Amino acid sequence: MTELTSKPAFRTDLKPRIFAWVQDYGVYAAVLALLLFNVLFTPHFLDASNFRTQFVQVTPIVIVSLGMALVIGTQGIDLSVGSVMALAAALVALYLGYGALPALIVAVIGGAVVGAAGGALVAYVGVQPIVATLALLVGVRGIANVLVPQLVEFRNPDLIALGSSSVTGIPVIVLIAAALTLIVLFVVRRTTFGRQVVAIGGNRSASELSGLPVKRVLLIVYVISGLLAALAGVLATARLQASDPTSLGLFIELSAITAVVVGGTPLTGGRIRVLSTVMGALLMQLLAATLIKHNLPQSWTQMVQAVIILAAVYATRERANR
Protein backbone atom coordinates (compact mmCIF):
# COMPACT_ATOMS: atom_id res chain seq x y z
CA MET A 1 0.00 0.00 0.00
CA THR A 2 1.58 3.25 1.06
CA GLU A 3 4.79 1.43 1.84
CA LEU A 4 4.92 0.23 -1.70
CA THR A 5 6.10 3.54 -2.99
CA SER A 6 9.18 3.43 -0.83
CA LYS A 7 10.17 0.07 -2.30
CA PRO A 8 12.64 0.15 -5.13
CA ALA A 9 10.80 -0.13 -8.42
CA PHE A 10 11.12 -3.53 -9.87
CA ARG A 11 11.79 -4.57 -13.41
CA THR A 12 8.85 -6.01 -15.20
CA ASP A 13 10.16 -9.40 -16.12
CA LEU A 14 8.37 -11.02 -18.99
CA LYS A 15 9.30 -14.61 -18.26
CA PRO A 16 7.68 -14.95 -14.86
CA ARG A 17 4.58 -13.29 -16.16
CA ILE A 18 4.28 -15.81 -18.97
CA PHE A 19 4.78 -18.55 -16.41
CA ALA A 20 2.06 -17.11 -14.25
CA TRP A 21 -0.25 -16.84 -17.22
CA VAL A 22 0.35 -20.42 -18.28
CA GLN A 23 -0.22 -21.54 -14.75
CA ASP A 24 -3.56 -19.81 -14.64
CA TYR A 25 -4.75 -20.39 -18.15
CA GLY A 26 -2.75 -23.44 -19.25
CA VAL A 27 -5.84 -25.63 -19.49
CA TYR A 28 -7.57 -23.16 -21.76
CA ALA A 29 -4.53 -23.10 -24.00
CA ALA A 30 -4.38 -26.88 -24.06
CA VAL A 31 -8.07 -27.13 -24.97
CA LEU A 32 -7.55 -24.61 -27.75
CA ALA A 33 -4.55 -26.49 -29.06
CA LEU A 34 -6.49 -29.74 -29.13
CA LEU A 35 -9.41 -28.02 -30.87
CA LEU A 36 -7.06 -26.67 -33.47
CA PHE A 37 -5.55 -30.07 -34.06
CA ASN A 38 -8.98 -31.57 -34.54
CA VAL A 39 -10.18 -28.85 -36.86
CA LEU A 40 -7.19 -29.54 -39.06
CA PHE A 41 -6.98 -33.31 -38.90
CA THR A 42 -10.32 -34.76 -37.84
CA PRO A 43 -13.06 -35.07 -40.49
CA HIS A 44 -16.46 -33.63 -39.62
CA PHE A 45 -15.12 -32.08 -36.47
CA LEU A 46 -16.76 -28.72 -36.93
CA ASP A 47 -20.27 -30.18 -37.21
CA ALA A 48 -22.65 -28.92 -34.60
CA SER A 49 -23.55 -32.51 -33.81
CA ASN A 50 -19.96 -33.18 -32.83
CA PHE A 51 -19.87 -30.46 -30.21
CA ARG A 52 -23.18 -31.68 -28.97
CA THR A 53 -21.77 -35.17 -28.57
CA GLN A 54 -18.71 -33.98 -26.70
CA PHE A 55 -20.68 -31.75 -24.37
CA VAL A 56 -23.24 -34.43 -23.65
CA GLN A 57 -20.60 -37.03 -22.94
CA VAL A 58 -18.64 -34.78 -20.64
CA THR A 59 -21.57 -33.74 -18.43
CA PRO A 60 -21.35 -36.53 -15.83
CA ILE A 61 -17.64 -35.93 -15.37
CA VAL A 62 -18.15 -32.18 -15.12
CA ILE A 63 -20.82 -32.54 -12.48
CA VAL A 64 -18.80 -35.04 -10.47
CA SER A 65 -15.68 -32.88 -10.81
CA LEU A 66 -17.48 -29.87 -9.35
CA GLY A 67 -18.07 -31.78 -6.14
CA MET A 68 -14.59 -33.24 -6.29
CA ALA A 69 -13.09 -29.76 -6.60
CA LEU A 70 -14.81 -28.71 -3.39
CA VAL A 71 -13.60 -31.81 -1.59
CA ILE A 72 -10.06 -31.40 -2.87
CA GLY A 73 -10.21 -27.77 -1.81
CA THR A 74 -10.54 -28.98 1.78
CA GLN A 75 -7.46 -31.12 1.29
CA GLY A 76 -9.65 -34.20 0.98
CA ILE A 77 -10.50 -36.58 -1.80
CA ASP A 78 -13.67 -38.48 -2.63
CA LEU A 79 -13.16 -41.88 -4.19
CA SER A 80 -16.78 -42.90 -3.68
CA VAL A 81 -18.32 -40.79 -6.45
CA GLY A 82 -18.46 -43.60 -9.02
CA SER A 83 -20.22 -45.90 -6.61
CA VAL A 84 -22.63 -43.13 -5.66
CA MET A 85 -23.51 -42.81 -9.34
CA ALA A 86 -24.20 -46.54 -9.39
CA LEU A 87 -26.33 -46.27 -6.27
CA ALA A 88 -28.30 -43.43 -7.85
CA ALA A 89 -28.88 -45.57 -10.92
CA ALA A 90 -30.13 -48.40 -8.75
CA LEU A 91 -32.44 -46.15 -6.75
CA VAL A 92 -33.86 -44.63 -9.92
CA ALA A 93 -34.67 -48.08 -11.22
CA LEU A 94 -36.31 -49.02 -7.94
CA TYR A 95 -38.46 -45.94 -7.57
CA LEU A 96 -39.29 -45.16 -11.16
CA GLY A 97 -42.72 -46.64 -10.57
CA TYR A 98 -43.66 -43.44 -8.75
CA GLY A 99 -42.56 -41.29 -11.65
CA ALA A 100 -39.35 -39.66 -12.78
CA LEU A 101 -39.23 -36.82 -10.27
CA PRO A 102 -39.76 -38.89 -7.13
CA ALA A 103 -37.17 -41.37 -8.39
CA LEU A 104 -34.71 -38.56 -8.97
CA ILE A 105 -35.31 -37.16 -5.52
CA VAL A 106 -34.79 -40.54 -3.87
CA ALA A 107 -31.58 -41.05 -5.84
CA VAL A 108 -30.21 -37.67 -4.87
CA ILE A 109 -31.10 -38.27 -1.24
CA GLY A 110 -29.26 -41.57 -1.46
CA GLY A 111 -26.20 -39.74 -2.75
CA ALA A 112 -26.44 -37.23 0.06
CA VAL A 113 -26.62 -40.00 2.63
CA VAL A 114 -23.47 -41.64 1.29
CA GLY A 115 -21.78 -38.25 1.22
CA ALA A 116 -22.85 -37.68 4.81
CA ALA A 117 -21.42 -41.04 5.81
CA GLY A 118 -18.09 -40.20 4.21
CA GLY A 119 -18.15 -36.68 5.60
CA ALA A 120 -18.92 -37.92 9.08
CA LEU A 121 -16.05 -40.39 8.95
CA VAL A 122 -13.71 -37.65 7.80
CA ALA A 123 -14.93 -34.76 9.93
CA TYR A 124 -16.07 -36.34 13.15
CA VAL A 125 -14.17 -39.62 13.39
CA GLY A 126 -11.06 -38.22 11.77
CA VAL A 127 -10.49 -41.01 9.25
CA GLN A 128 -8.27 -40.00 6.36
CA PRO A 129 -10.46 -39.04 3.39
CA ILE A 130 -8.87 -41.42 0.93
CA VAL A 131 -9.50 -44.46 3.13
CA ALA A 132 -12.94 -43.42 4.31
CA THR A 133 -14.14 -42.97 0.75
CA LEU A 134 -12.28 -46.08 -0.40
CA ALA A 135 -14.41 -48.12 1.98
CA LEU A 136 -17.48 -46.42 0.51
CA LEU A 137 -16.21 -47.05 -3.02
CA VAL A 138 -16.25 -50.78 -2.34
CA GLY A 139 -19.30 -50.98 -0.11
CA VAL A 140 -21.68 -48.62 -1.89
CA ARG A 141 -21.26 -50.28 -5.25
CA GLY A 142 -22.00 -53.52 -3.46
CA ILE A 143 -25.19 -52.03 -2.08
CA ALA A 144 -26.13 -50.73 -5.51
CA ASN A 145 -25.66 -54.20 -6.94
CA VAL A 146 -27.58 -55.82 -4.14
CA LEU A 147 -30.49 -53.46 -4.84
CA VAL A 148 -30.40 -53.90 -8.59
CA PRO A 149 -28.20 -56.81 -9.57
CA GLN A 150 -28.19 -56.16 -13.27
CA LEU A 151 -28.90 -53.61 -15.91
CA VAL A 152 -32.56 -52.63 -16.07
CA GLU A 153 -34.05 -50.90 -19.07
CA PHE A 154 -36.84 -48.46 -18.54
CA ARG A 155 -39.47 -46.73 -20.62
CA ASN A 156 -40.43 -43.77 -18.46
CA PRO A 157 -40.84 -41.00 -21.05
CA ASP A 158 -39.98 -38.19 -18.63
CA LEU A 159 -36.67 -39.73 -17.70
CA ILE A 160 -35.82 -40.53 -21.31
CA ALA A 161 -36.68 -36.97 -22.24
CA LEU A 162 -34.39 -35.69 -19.51
CA GLY A 163 -31.56 -37.59 -21.13
CA SER A 164 -32.23 -36.87 -24.74
CA SER A 165 -34.25 -33.70 -25.27
CA SER A 166 -32.91 -30.26 -26.05
CA VAL A 167 -33.90 -26.66 -25.44
CA THR A 168 -33.04 -24.36 -28.32
CA GLY A 169 -30.69 -26.97 -29.64
CA ILE A 170 -28.80 -27.41 -26.40
CA PRO A 171 -29.29 -30.73 -24.63
CA VAL A 172 -31.06 -30.39 -21.29
CA ILE A 173 -28.34 -32.23 -19.42
CA VAL A 174 -25.73 -29.82 -20.74
CA LEU A 175 -27.85 -26.93 -19.51
CA ILE A 176 -28.10 -28.58 -16.11
CA ALA A 177 -24.33 -29.01 -15.95
CA ALA A 178 -23.82 -25.39 -16.94
CA ALA A 179 -26.25 -24.22 -14.29
CA LEU A 180 -24.54 -26.33 -11.64
CA THR A 181 -21.18 -24.93 -12.67
CA LEU A 182 -22.45 -21.40 -12.20
CA ILE A 183 -23.94 -22.26 -8.83
CA VAL A 184 -20.71 -23.83 -7.58
CA LEU A 185 -18.75 -20.91 -8.98
CA PHE A 186 -20.97 -18.54 -7.05
CA VAL A 187 -20.68 -20.57 -3.89
CA VAL A 188 -16.90 -20.67 -4.06
CA ARG A 189 -16.38 -17.05 -5.01
CA ARG A 190 -19.10 -15.23 -3.20
CA THR A 191 -20.32 -17.08 -0.17
CA THR A 192 -19.04 -17.43 3.34
CA PHE A 193 -19.26 -21.17 2.93
CA GLY A 194 -16.97 -21.08 -0.09
CA ARG A 195 -14.35 -19.06 1.74
CA GLN A 196 -14.57 -21.38 4.70
CA VAL A 197 -14.01 -24.42 2.52
CA VAL A 198 -10.86 -22.94 1.09
CA ALA A 199 -9.60 -21.76 4.46
CA ILE A 200 -10.07 -25.18 6.01
CA GLY A 201 -8.11 -26.71 3.17
CA GLY A 202 -5.38 -24.14 3.63
CA ASN A 203 -4.93 -24.53 7.38
CA ARG A 204 -7.36 -26.52 9.40
CA SER A 205 -6.24 -25.60 12.88
CA ALA A 206 -6.10 -21.93 12.00
CA SER A 207 -9.65 -22.21 10.73
CA GLU A 208 -10.73 -23.93 13.91
CA LEU A 209 -9.21 -21.17 16.03
CA SER A 210 -10.86 -18.59 13.80
CA GLY A 211 -14.20 -19.97 14.83
CA LEU A 212 -15.08 -21.65 11.55
CA PRO A 213 -17.48 -24.56 11.94
CA VAL A 214 -14.85 -26.85 10.49
CA LYS A 215 -16.54 -30.18 11.02
CA ARG A 216 -19.85 -29.00 9.72
CA VAL A 217 -18.29 -27.48 6.63
CA LEU A 218 -16.40 -30.70 5.92
CA LEU A 219 -19.54 -32.73 6.33
CA ILE A 220 -21.46 -30.46 3.98
CA VAL A 221 -18.72 -30.59 1.39
CA TYR A 222 -18.89 -34.38 1.24
CA VAL A 223 -22.67 -34.24 1.16
CA ILE A 224 -22.50 -31.88 -1.80
CA SER A 225 -20.07 -34.19 -3.54
CA GLY A 226 -22.45 -37.08 -2.95
CA LEU A 227 -25.42 -35.03 -4.17
CA LEU A 228 -23.67 -34.02 -7.34
CA ALA A 229 -22.41 -37.53 -8.01
CA ALA A 230 -25.94 -38.88 -7.56
CA LEU A 231 -27.30 -36.28 -9.92
CA ALA A 232 -24.63 -37.21 -12.44
CA GLY A 233 -25.67 -40.83 -12.01
CA VAL A 234 -29.31 -39.99 -12.70
CA LEU A 235 -28.44 -37.98 -15.80
CA ALA A 236 -26.14 -40.71 -17.11
CA THR A 237 -28.90 -43.23 -16.48
CA ALA A 238 -31.41 -41.09 -18.30
CA ARG A 239 -29.10 -40.84 -21.24
CA LEU A 240 -28.37 -44.55 -21.36
CA GLN A 241 -32.10 -45.25 -21.08
CA ALA A 242 -31.17 -48.02 -18.73
CA SER A 243 -30.05 -48.24 -15.15
CA ASP A 244 -26.71 -50.00 -14.93
CA PRO A 245 -25.38 -50.08 -11.35
CA THR A 246 -22.73 -52.58 -12.38
CA SER A 247 -20.59 -50.48 -14.62
CA LEU A 248 -21.94 -46.95 -14.32
CA GLY A 249 -19.30 -44.60 -12.96
CA LEU A 250 -16.47 -47.13 -12.81
CA PHE A 251 -13.18 -45.26 -12.45
CA ILE A 252 -14.90 -41.89 -12.84
CA GLU A 253 -13.20 -40.78 -9.62
CA LEU A 254 -9.88 -40.88 -11.42
CA SER A 255 -11.24 -38.86 -14.34
CA ALA A 256 -12.74 -36.32 -11.99
CA ILE A 257 -9.57 -35.96 -9.93
CA THR A 258 -7.60 -35.58 -13.13
CA ALA A 259 -9.97 -32.89 -14.36
CA VAL A 260 -9.66 -30.99 -11.10
CA VAL A 261 -5.88 -31.22 -10.97
CA VAL A 262 -5.35 -30.50 -14.65
CA GLY A 263 -7.48 -27.43 -14.02
CA GLY A 264 -4.89 -26.19 -11.57
CA THR A 265 -6.52 -26.93 -8.22
CA PRO A 266 -3.73 -28.33 -6.04
CA LEU A 267 -4.34 -31.63 -4.27
CA THR A 268 -2.92 -30.03 -1.14
CA GLY A 269 -6.09 -27.99 -0.78
CA GLY A 270 -6.64 -24.37 0.04
CA ARG A 271 -7.57 -23.33 -3.43
CA ILE A 272 -10.46 -24.10 -5.80
CA ARG A 273 -10.67 -23.24 -9.47
CA VAL A 274 -14.13 -24.00 -10.74
CA LEU A 275 -14.06 -22.94 -14.38
CA SER A 276 -10.65 -24.45 -14.91
CA THR A 277 -11.97 -27.70 -13.51
CA VAL A 278 -14.68 -27.71 -16.15
CA MET A 279 -11.99 -26.96 -18.71
CA GLY A 280 -9.93 -29.83 -17.33
CA ALA A 281 -12.87 -32.15 -17.84
CA LEU A 282 -13.37 -30.83 -21.36
CA LEU A 283 -9.70 -31.34 -22.10
CA MET A 284 -9.84 -34.97 -21.06
CA GLN A 285 -13.07 -35.48 -23.02
CA LEU A 286 -11.68 -33.91 -26.17
CA LEU A 287 -8.55 -35.96 -25.81
CA ALA A 288 -10.50 -39.19 -25.49
CA ALA A 289 -12.67 -38.21 -28.45
CA THR A 290 -9.66 -37.36 -30.57
CA LEU A 291 -8.02 -40.67 -29.85
CA ILE A 292 -11.21 -42.60 -30.59
CA LYS A 293 -11.93 -40.70 -33.77
CA HIS A 294 -8.45 -41.39 -35.00
CA ASN A 295 -8.99 -45.03 -34.14
CA LEU A 296 -5.88 -45.43 -32.05
CA PRO A 297 -5.48 -48.76 -30.30
CA GLN A 298 -6.06 -48.86 -26.56
CA SER A 299 -2.35 -49.07 -25.82
CA TRP A 300 -1.64 -45.81 -27.60
CA THR A 301 -4.69 -44.13 -26.16
CA GLN A 302 -3.53 -44.76 -22.62
CA MET A 303 0.05 -43.71 -23.26
CA VAL A 304 -1.00 -40.49 -24.98
CA GLN A 305 -3.40 -39.70 -22.14
CA ALA A 306 -0.60 -40.19 -19.65
CA VAL A 307 1.65 -37.77 -21.49
CA ILE A 308 -1.05 -35.13 -21.89
CA ILE A 309 -2.04 -35.30 -18.23
CA LEU A 310 1.57 -34.84 -17.22
CA ALA A 311 2.10 -31.97 -19.62
CA ALA A 312 -1.05 -30.17 -18.55
CA VAL A 313 -0.33 -30.54 -14.85
CA TYR A 314 3.27 -29.56 -15.40
CA ALA A 315 2.14 -26.32 -16.97
CA THR A 316 -0.29 -25.49 -14.18
CA ARG A 317 1.84 -26.62 -11.26
CA GLU A 318 2.78 -24.22 -8.49
CA ARG A 319 6.33 -23.21 -9.09
CA ALA A 320 8.82 -23.46 -6.28
CA ASN A 321 10.46 -20.19 -5.34
CA ARG A 322 14.06 -20.67 -6.24
Partner 1 sequence: MISVASSRREQASRVLQQHGALMVLALLVIVGSLAFDSFATAGNAASVVVSSSFLAIIAIGMTFVIISGGIDLSVGSLFVLGGVLAAYGSQYGLLMALALPLGACGVVGLLQGLVIARTGMAPFIVTLAGLLGVRGLMLAISQEGATTYLVKNPAFASLGQGELLGLTYPVYITAALALVAMVLLQRTGFGQNVYAIGGNEQAAALMGVPVARTKVTVYVMSALLAGLAGALNAARLSSGVTILGIGLELDAIAAVVIGGTLLTGGAGGITGTVAGVLLLGVIQSLINQVGNLTSAFQQVVSGAFLALVVVAQRLLSKAQRLS
Partner 2 sequence: MRRTDLEAVLEAKGISKRFPGVLALDGVHLALLPGEVHALVGENGAGKSTLIKVFTGVYHPDGGELRHLGAPAAFGTPLDAQRAGISTIYQEVNLVPMMSVARNLLLGREPRGRFGVIDATRMYAEAARILSGYGVETDVRRPLRTLGIGAQQMVALARAVAVDARVVIMDEPTSSLEPREVETLFGVIRRLRDEGIAVMYVSHRLDELYQVCDRVTVLRDGRVAHTGPLAGLDRLKLISLMLGRDLNEVKAGGLTRFSRDRHRAADGQPPAVEARGLTRRHVLDGIDVSVRPGEVVGLGGLLGAGRTETAKAIVGAMPLDGGQVLVAGLPLRGGSTTAAIRAGISLLPEDRKAEGIVPTLSVRENIALAALPSLARAGVVSDAKIDRMVEIFMRRLRIKAASPNQLVSELSGGNQQKVLLARWLAVRPKVLLLDEPTRGIDVGAKAEVQALIDELAAEGLGVLLISSDLEELVEGADRILVLREGAVVGELTGDQVTEERIMATIAEQSDDMVTIAERSDD
Partner 3 sequence: AKSEEPQSAPAATSTAGQQVVQSPSGSAGPTCTLDQFGGKKFDLKTATVGFSQSEKEANPFRIAETKSIKDEAAKLGIANLKVTNAQSQFSKQITDVQQLIAQGVQLLVIAPLNSDGWEPVLQQAAAKKVPIITVDRKINAKACSDYLTFIGSDFHEQGKRAADRMIDALSGKGKVAILLGAPGNNVTTERTNGFKERITEKAPGIQISFEQTGEFAREKGQQVTEQLIQSNPDINGIYAENDEMALGAVTALKGAGKEAGTIKIVSVDGTRSAVQGIADGWLHSVIESNPRFGPLAFETAQKFLDGQSIPDKVIISDRDYDTSNAKDSLGEAY
Reference 197, options 265, 117, 114, 136; nearest CA is: 265
Q: How far is the CB of 244 from partner 3 (least distance, A)?
A: 6
Q: How far is the CB of 298 from partner 3 (least distance, A)?
A: 5
Q: Cα 164 to the chain's mean position, in Å?
A: 22
Considering only 32, 101, 146, 209, the residue that binds partner 1 (CB under 8 A) is: 146
Separation of alpha carbons 300 and 172, rounded Å? 34
Cβ nearer to partner 2, comparing 30 with 200: 200
Say if residues 220 and 120 touch (Cβ distance below 8 Å): no
According to DSSP, residue 271 is labeled -
Say if residues 262 and 316 touch (Cβ distance below 8 Å): yes
**Binding string, 277-316, against partner 3, x = CB under 8 A?**
------------x--xx-x-xx------------------
Task: Map the footprint of partner 2 across residues 159-198, applying CB under 8 A.
Answer: 190-193, 195-196, 198
Q: What is the DSSP string of 293-309?
A: HTT--HHHHHHHHHHHH
Considering only 127, 178, 242, 288, the residue that binds partner 1 (CB under 8 A) is: 127
Strand-pair category, 152-153 with 242-243: antiparallel
- 124 sits near partner 3 (criterion: CB under 8 A): no
**Binding string, 255-284, against partner 2, x = CB under 8 A?**
--------------xxx-------------
Say if residues 62 and 255 touch (Cβ distance below 8 Å): no
**Binding string, 199-238, against partner 2, x = CB under 8 A?**
x-xxx-xxxxxxxxx-------------------------
- 318 sits near partner 1 (criterion: CB under 8 A): yes
Burial profile 134-171: b = 16 or more Cβ within 10 angstroms, e = fewer? bebbeebbebbbebbeeebebebeebeebbeeeeeeeb
Separation of alpha carbons 12 and 79, rounded Å? 44
Considering only 136, 173, 234, 256, the residue that binds partner 1 (CB under 8 A) is: 136
Separation of alpha carbons 18 and 30, rounded Å? 15
Q: Cα 148 to the chain's mean position, in Å?
A: 26
Considering only 4, 14, 125, 167, the residue that binds partner 1 (CB under 8 A) is: 125
Separation of alpha carbons 116 and 111, rounded Å? 9
Task: Map the footprint of partner 3 across residues 219-258, applying CB under 8 A.
Answer: 236, 239-242, 244-248, 250
| Residue 211 interacting partner from partner 2, partner 3, partner 1, none (CB closer than 5 to 8 Å by kind) | partner 2
Task: Map the footprint of partner 1 across residues 24-63, applying CB under 8 A.
Answer: none
Q: How far is the CB of 299 from partner 2 (least distance, A)?
A: 39
- 306 sits near partner 1 (criterion: CB under 8 A): yes
> What are residue 170's DSSP bridge partners?
167
Separation of alpha carbons 237 and 90, rounded Å? 9
| Residue 121 interacting partner from partner 2, partner 1, partner 3, none (CB closer than 5 to 8 Å by kind) | partner 1
Q: How far is the CB of 163 from partner 3 (least distance, A)?
A: 9
Binding residues for partner 3, per CB under 8 A? 42-45, 47, 49-50, 53, 56-57, 93-98, 145, 149-156, 164, 236, 239-242, 244-248, 250, 289, 292-293, 295, 297-298
